[in-house]
Structure 1
Amino acid sequence: MDTTATKTILHKAGTRGHANHGWLDSYHTFSFASYYNPERHNFGVLRVLNDDRVDPGMGFGTHRHDNMEIISIPLEGDLEHKDSMGNTTVIRKGDIQAMSAGTGIFHSEYNKNSDKLTKFLQIWVIPKQQNVTPRYDQVTLNENDRHNKLQQVLSPNAEDEGVWIHQDAWFHLGTFDKDFTTDYQIKKEGNGIYAFILKGDFTIGGVTLNERDGLGMTNTDSITITANSEGAEILLMEVPM
């Protein structure tokens, strides 16, 4: 593939949609709820990337989803999950949660702590098949395994590291020392990759990125990532376009 024709789209942190409901403070990379931007509706099958803060003792009451792959990545604190499949679990930093809503599920999410915030990413991916049987998946990963390397946290394959979803997508998390450089190879031809900066500063493909910036790249088979600050953290999401 001719990587000289790589296309990029930059979403600076300050340009995201924002909704502060008091107990919930949410930043939307893509159109969501009352935030609508026709130029920021999705990146391929990556439909929602919400950066949420939930106050102590608060949360999302029982609500319905269908035909969506829903991924939650806790960044701070923890979140209690209950759903119509009978699951009651708690997800904490280091965990990855995935739900295939399929034909329909109801769930709730609460920060049951009385004294600390919960911060997490809520990500929606459009599935490659409709009306699958709903399912729940949660794993705890060793965060040390992402020091100066990209740790796979999601894939299409149940036997691989991390959670799996009904889509040809791969997510990786990495925490890097300053000036550390690594490459990421696209796993499926035609996929794009969306990088979201969780902490610190990076350079990707000549573009400088700061905390909570997002960069989408298409028509490429690899990208080079350099951390520009100590302990910089990144989430890479490879998705079909």
Structure 2
Amino acid sequence: MSSQIQIVRRPSHERGHADHGWLKSFHTWSFASYHDPSFSSHGCLRVLNEDRVQPTTGFDTHSHQEYEIFSYVVDGELQHKDSMGNTEIIHRGEVQFTSAGTGIQHSEYNVHKSLWVHFIQIWVKPNQARLKPSYTTKKWSDNDKINRLCLLVDDINNSNKDAIPIHASLSMYASILQKSQTVEHTFQRSKGYIHVVMRSGYKVTNGAKIRLADGTVLEEGDGAFIYSDKSQNKLSIENVGLIDAEFLLFDLD
């Protein structure tokens, strides 16, 4: 590992946590009733919530402005409705992306009668204000992510047709890393964040484990802040557990 990279672990049990019965959520940064001035943002990243929503319940219609908001569906079905006229049910492997811009209203609901929906909700502060609201979804299979970093969201200025464009200096990757396998990422920006998805359940036991190049071990629900003094620094990520490890990796300013 390059000596220019610094890694700071964010243990799962130190995140904000809310259990409303119908909603079980973990907050990486300050959100709703959870407030910690040490964890208000990381570069342009403002929110990373790992949510589980009970069948036939969800988030009623509410408003957003000036954020790019997207959801990475892990399991189950998530219904999206918005004031732009979009109605869609999102499944595993899909990313649902909304640029709130000058203002939108939307709802997110689990319409399934028996299965919980599990998804990662992410908010990013765009580098432009007063954007025209927009909405898009895109799907990737598990095979697209196995033992590789699959680019899902990328800076609109990079003109990457395979990724969802975002108005921010940010790239988001997903990976499903199999036992004893390693992937490597070369950072293009000054910051990063990695989050290990809680695939094994709301209360994880014997879950996935990954090890970063400096020896830091992350388990399900853990994350790590990554700081780079210079660009072009490489970070290796190895699965040191007994099961597949699914994680999200952000490269950002």
The DSSP-based 3-state class of the residue aligned with 2:138 is strand
Partners of 1:232 and 1:56 in 2: CA distance = 26
Q: 1:95-151: CA deviations, max 9, x gaps?
A: 011111110110001100111101111000111111100110100112201111111
Flag structure 2 segments of 5+ consecutive residues without an equivalent. Answer: 200-207
Q: Find the partner of 1:201 among 201, 204, 209.
A: 209
Q: Does 1:38 align with 2:37?
A: yes
> After the TM superposition, which residues 85-100 of structure 1 pair with which residues of structure 2 at under 5 Å, given as runs?
85-100=84-99
The alpha-carbon deviation at position 3 of structure 1 amounts to 3.7
Cα distance in structure 1, aligned partners of 2:170 and 2:162: 13
Most deviating of 31-40 and 168-177: 168-177
For residue 107 of structure 2, give the secondary structure of its aligned residue in structure 1: strand
What is the CA–CA distance in structure 1 between the aligned matches of 2:37 and 2:55, rounded to whole Å? 34
Aligned residues: 237
Moved more, 222-231 or 208-217: 222-231
Aligned to 2:100: 101
Distance 2:22 2:116 in 1: 10
Aligned residue for 2:203? none
Contact conserved, 1:98 with 1:164, CA < 8 A, in 2? no
The answer to whether the 8 A contact 2:78-2:90 is kept is: yes
Check if 1:225 corresponds to 2:237.
yes
Match of 2:247 among 216, 219, 234: 234
What CA distance in whole angstroms lies between the structure 2 residues aligned with 1:160 and 1:11? 33
Equivalences for 1:25-174 in 2 at 5 Å? 25-157=24-156, 159-174=160-175
Q: Provide the rounded CA distance (Å) in 1 between the counterparts of 2:116 and 2:141.
A: 22
Output the TM-score relative to the length of structure 2.
0.90
Paired AA for residue 236 in structure 1? L
Match of 1:153, SS state, is: strand
Is the CA contact 2:153–2:166 (under 8 Å) kept in the aligned structure 1?
A: yes
Partners of 1:217 and 1:8 lie apart in 2 by: 5
Per the alignment, residue 211 of structure 1 pairs with 220
Conserved? CA contact 2:78–2:110, under 8 Å: yes
Structure 1 length normalisation: TM-score?
0.94
CA distance in 2, matches of 1:35, 1:59: 20
Report the CA distance between 1:43 and its aligned residue.
1.2
Residue matched to 1:180: 181
Identity across the alignment (%): 37
* Paired amino acid for 2:237: I
Alpha-carbon shift at residue 159 of structure 1 (Å):
4.0
Paired residue secondary structure (1:4):
coil
Q: Structure 2: how far apart are the matches of 1:195 and 1:215?
A: 5
